[in-house]
Structure formats: C-alpha cells, structure tokens
Homo-oligomer: A and B are copies of this chain.
Amino acid sequence: MSILEGKALIAQGGGPTAVINQSLVGVVLESRKFPQVSRVYGAIHGLRGIIEEDFIDLTQETTHNLEQIALTPSSALLSTRDKPDEEYCKEIFRVLKVHDIRYFFYIGGNDSSDTVRIVNEQAKKANYEFRAIHIPKTIDNDLVLNDHTPGFGSAARYVAQAFTGVNLDNRSIPGVYIGVVMGRHAGFLTAASCFAKKYPDDGPHLIYLPERAFNEENFIKDVKGIYEKFGRCIIAVSEGISDEKHVPIITKLQEEIEKDAHGNIQLSGTGALGDLLADLIRNKLKIKRVRADTFGYLQRSFIGCVSDIDQQEAREVGERAAQFAVWYDKDGSVAIKRPSDEGYSVDYELIPIEDVAGKTKTMPNHFINKDGNNITNAFRTYARPLLGSGFPIAHRLRAPKVKKLLTK
C-alpha cells in the first residue's frame, strides 16, 4: 500500500476511442476511494493542460454524470498530440510539484505510453516521488505485450457493421467497392471487416493490410478473379498500405505531405487513397461501377455502436490502474492478457512501461493468408469476442425459384 499522500492527476492523449471515458471514470471512481488521494484532477487537452495548469477537480464531479460520461465516446478531458521534449517535461514537473500531484494516470496509445516513460524518467531525475501509470487505449490494437487494447473492440465492431451493410448494398446493386480503414502499421482494424461475411459469396472478398507489401499488379489480378467469379467485389484496405520499399501508397499521390508532431504522415481525413485505387480498377479492368469510401473519423468515435466487452475492459484497466498505483505502490503500464485460447477471459497485469513505450505490434503471420490478400480463421477466433454481444446478423431469402415459362 502506498503511503504517498497527495493529489492524483488524469489526462487523456492521442486519438479518441468510443470507450476511452470508461477508463477515465474507472480511474476517477477508484481513486476517490483512497484517503491518501486528497483530490483527483483532470488535465484539459492532455499534457498541454498540465503545462497550462488547466485542471478541473474531478473530486467534485457527480458520480451520476461520470457514469453518463463513461458511455460518451471521445476523450471527455480532451486530447493533445503534443510530444514532450526535455523543456516541455521540466515545465510539467514545475506544475506537478506546485500542485502536489503524486499520482499520474495517462490514458493513451503508443505515443502516450512513451510520454509516460519520459515523464517518469524526469521525475526520478528530479527526485520527485510519484507514481506514473499508463492506461492502454488505441483503436489500432498495436500495443505490444497486450492481447488487445481498449477501443479496438468497438472500432472493430463499427468496421464489421459497416462492411455488413456495404456487402448487402453491393449485392443489391453489384460493382466493385473499396472501403479504406484506419491503421498505419497494424492491420487489425481492417481485418475486422471479415466479420461482415456470413454466406460464402459475401464480402469483403479481399483484405489488404500494412503488414504485407502492396503490389498493384497482384491487386488488379485479385480483383479481376473475384469479379469474374461473383460479378462483384468488396475490398477492405488499410490506409497505411505500403509498397515493397515501405513507401505508403498514399504518398505516391500527394506532393506535400502533412505530418503531425510525432512525424506521422496524415492518412485519414482524405478520400485520396480510395479514389486512387478505384481509378486503378476502372482503368485496368474497365469495370464501370467502382466506388470507394474512406471510413475516416466515423470509425473511432461513432456513438451507439459499442462493444460491451470493450466497455467493461476499458473500465477495468482504469480501475486497476488506480489499484496498482495505490495498493501496490508501483509504476508501469496496465496490460490486458488472455490466459487461455480455448475460452475468452482476461487478466490485467502491470508491466514495465519501457517494455511498451514507442513499440508497435502488428498482425502476426498466422492471422494473414498466404497470398497476403485476406485473413485466416485464427484471426476470426482471436478477434470475435472483442466485438461483444448482440452483433447484428444479416439474413437472406430462401424461397424456391419459380420455373420460367418463356423460352429464352
């Protein structure tokens, strides 16, 4: 048990998810139970809020409203993409000290876990005693040492429901359809499109992931094959697909590429990649009806399409973070483990932050088929529980054909 008395501070970083506030509420409600924790502050707009002393006092938030917030997508404390350097961190400590903040919880993905690592290093250097815990979240599902990450299940459910609808739509008026899904280096979210498939001819028929080099010739050959077989073709593509030299396909289009503070190229919020691929199919295969949609920002904060499993786990990683800090007096990153691959259950562990920070997990080889244009049943088995219960199912008419009376 930690005897460290002082305030707790919570912040949310990086891109939002549909369940990131479950983790926030988990930390807040659990922290408020400990007498050592005198106040629970929330930083507005992540690290930037710390530097600017922009705090709200969550000790004075109603439990009822917190429960409503938990059901609301996207970071209720607002977010930032700032990446702290040495100077930035010194400034953070000045604020932490002045406010007597002794417990720091940062909910975020790759970049955010790296931030927690840097902040913690600075704290040690400054001999400032405090506990820093990273709480995982990312729709990309790309944190190492985690079976999966909160936020992924709900985004995966959105993508699967979207492709279920798109498949029904495209079956009704056939053509080629391309859906561009978020995922810079990891294809998990794009792979989740597979759950749209129920009947043998259902799409998505082809799934392209950043884990495999994208080759235009093979792509065209794949589409041609499916189109000749079914008279239509549904394709799921990760926004981050790259060629054999690891050059993102989207950079082949744009001369001036926008980058964020972490040096990441902007992939979402433009229909360019989908339109490029659609044009390619139109030109090479002379297929007239080719459509491309880029799911963009619809997939990560959509309200009303959430996985209950994802909600519960997001809540628990927040609760466990508070418990690890106060009961166990430890720093680290909360990780989700799946103890058995024969049934679905999870455990939460605290792992060293430097083991997670700045590293990216991608799809393992056995989740991707040999041709690199689809996923395997091993992925289905892995990912299905994460989408939660009550996934809507499409049905088809099975009435018998009527005999033709006119000779054709």
Contacts and interface: CB of A to CB of B under 8 A. Distances in A.
A293 interface: yes
A350 B57 CA distance: 61
A293 B180 CA distance: 11
Contacts of A300: 165, 169
A378 interface: no
Contacts of A74: 165, 168-169, 171-172
A399 B270 contact: no
B297 A294 contact: no
Interface string A190-217: 0000000000000000000000000000
20 contacts: A18-B165, A53-B406, A55-B401, A57-B399, A57-B400, A72-B394, A72-B396, A74-B171, A78-B173, A98-B406, A165-B301, A166-B301, A170-B297, A270-B271, A270-B275, A271-B274, A271-B292, A292-B296, A304-B392, A305-B305
Interface stretch (A60-68, A222-230, A317-325): A60-68
A368 interface: no
Contacts of A305: 161, 304-305
Interface string A275-292: 100100000000010111
Contacts of A42: 397, 399
Interface centre among A68, A292, A295, A297 (most CB of B within 10 A): A297
Interface of A: 12, 15-16, 18, 41-42, 52-62, 65, 68-69, 71-81, 94-95, 98-99, 161-162, 164-166, 168-173, 177, 258, 268-272, 274-275, 278, 288, 290-298, 300-305, 391-402, 404-406, 408
A65 B396 CA distance: 8
A151 to B, nearest CB: 12
A156 to B, nearest CB: 13
B399 A298 contact: no
B168 A73 contact: yes
A56 B401 contact: yes
B177 A76 contact: no
B61 A399 contact: yes
A400 B270 contact: no
Interface centre among A12, A54, A57, A406 (most CB of B within 10 A): A406
A58 B399 contact: yes
B169 A16 contact: yes
Contacts of A60: 399-400
Given A74-B171, A165-B74, A278-B269, A94 B401 contact: no
A406 B298 CA distance: 39
B76 A396 contact: yes
Nearest to A401: B56
A399 to B, nearest CB: 4
B61 A161 contact: no
Given A168-B72, A271-B274, A401-B55, A297 B291 contact: yes
A143 to B, nearest CB: 20
Interface centre among A16, A172, A404 (most CB of B within 10 A): A172
Nearest to A95: B406
Nearest to A168: B74
